[in-house]
Amino acid sequence: MILTNQSLYREKPEVVAKKILGMVLVRKYQNTIVSGRIVETEAYLANEHPASHSFNGRTKRNEAMFGDAGQSYVYSIHRYNCVNVVTEVKGVPSAVLIRALEPLSGIEVMRELRNVENIKRLCSGPGKLCQALHITKEDNMTRLFSDQSSIQIASDHYKHNSIVTTTRVGISKAKELPLRFYLAGNQYISRK
DNA sequence: AGGAAGATCTACT
DNA sequence: GTAGATCTTCCTA
């Protein structure tokens, strides 16, 4: 298991979205390592994209998207949180939403935090995986490539299946764009 | 100060 | 499939 380099995230979000598929999201939570393989992502492009949070300019909420590549952007929607990885250079507000994980370690902790037994339902959605890994607004703007951070993205050189590309989920604008990616045949994605 | 919208999830039918 | 929960942020007044 090796940490990722920050330079990985300086590329376009649709490139990063595919690169981090198959990598592992690692959370240090109360002396336990809670982790899962990233099996589903979505790209949100800088500016001019009506579906992106950054479309209407910089606000307190989307501040992290304007920051440097490789840091987290955590936002809340209804009663849940979702976590993104910021991409491209500082000042360009693009990001990749992590939509689903295949649980790897700390599964009992996930079950407690989620109050759900079925392993396929622990992390099969952006709000669910944040609950399972206890990711909150406190974790906004965490450097995911640093070994100092309590949330990281790492690689275990897993050889994954081919990547399926579809339209994004749950948004009302620009929903026709093919910017959602997931691992073919994986059982832990949020939907087909 | 109040209201509306949202990159969601669960529990029903 | 659809309703309802119920949080944060932004917009308007």
Q: How far is the CA of A170 from the C1' of B8 (A)?
A: 8
| pLDDT class of A173 with cuts at 50, 70, 90 | confident
Q: Which structure tokens are listed for A89?
A: 């250079």
Element containing residue A126 per DSSP (H, E): helix A126-132
Q: How far is the CA of A104 from the C1' of C3 (A)?
A: 34
Element containing residue A128 per DSSP (H, E): helix A126-132
Nucleotide closest to residue A52 (CA–C1'): B7
Q: How far is the CA of A47 from the C1' of C13 (A)?
A: 29
Q: How far is the CA of A158 from the C1' of C10 (A)?
A: 42
Asked whether the whole model's pTM tops 0.85, one would answer: yes
Residue of A186, A141, A169 lying closest to A43 (CA atoms): A169
Q: Which of chain B's bases lie under 7 Å from a protein CB?
A: 6-10
**Does residue A37 contact residue A158 with C-beta atoms inside 8 Å?**
yes
Helices of type H across A5-51: 13-19
Residue of A128, A44, A127, A5 lying closest to A119 (CA atoms): A128
Q: Is the predicted pLDDT of residue A47 greater than 80, yes or no?
A: no
Q: How far is the CA of A78 from the C1' of C10 (A)?
A: 15
Point out the residue nearest to B6 (C-alpha to C1'). A77
Cβ neighbour number for residue A124 with a 10 Å cutoff: 24
* Residue A141, φ and ψ in degrees, nearest 5: 60, 35
Mean pLDDT of A14-31: 97
Q: Is the predicted pLDDT of residue A49 greater than 80, yes or no?
A: no
pLDDT per position as a tens digit, A147-165: 999 999 999 999 999 999 9
Output the pLDDT for position A151.
98
Cβ neighbour number for residue A171 with a 10 Å cutoff: 15
E-strand stretches of chain A: 2-3, 24-29, 32-44, 72-77, 80-87, 94-105, 151-155, 163-166, 180-183
Nucleotide closest to residue A122 (CA–C1'): B9
